[in-house]
Amino acid sequence: MGRLRTVSELENLSALSKVPKPPPSEFVNFETRQLQKKFKHAVDFNLSGTPNAEGLKSYEQTLKAHIDDPLTQKIAGKYRWNQDVNHYYNPETKIDVMTKPDGNFISGWKLSETQISDLKGEGNVY
């Protein structure tokens, strides 16, 4: 049998349950160098421009919005069959953003049908 809780304990538990969870993108680290390297995929996110400070800021904000989209699914898997990653895949847009398990951004783009099949079946994107 569980023990009875005091009113104070119940109030504390109730307050804790109401604390909003941070968005998933809060756990992703976007290094400028990696954003510059992967800016070539910005077109898949309907972004244009150059990888200057303003363009990179816009790219990062768009990546965060993708990760935080309620339709985006977090899938633990692989990148190129050998690197453990978290996939942030949105089946509506067919876009996948990958991060290392520690949260560092790797890349993201619109997947081909073959890549979608591999992600769903094997948890891998190549």
What are 7-34's pLDDT values in tens digits?
666 566 566 667 788 999 999 999 999 9
What pLDDT shows up at residue 7?
61
What pLDDT shows up at residue 18?
73
Looking at every residue in the chain, the average pLDDT score rounds to: 92
Q: How confident is the model at residue 62 (pLDDT cuts 50, 70, 90)?
A: very high
What pLDDT shows up at residue 21?
87
Per residue in 76-85, pLDDT (tens digit) is 999 999 999 9
58 within 8 A of 49, measured Cβ to Cβ: yes
Domains along the chain with CATH numbers: 21-125 (3.10.450.200)
Residue spans of beta strands (DSSP E) within the chain: 73-79, 83-90, 95-99, 105-110, 124-125
Place of tokens 């949260």: 103
β-bridge partners, 124: 78
Mean pLDDT over 36-63 rounds to 97
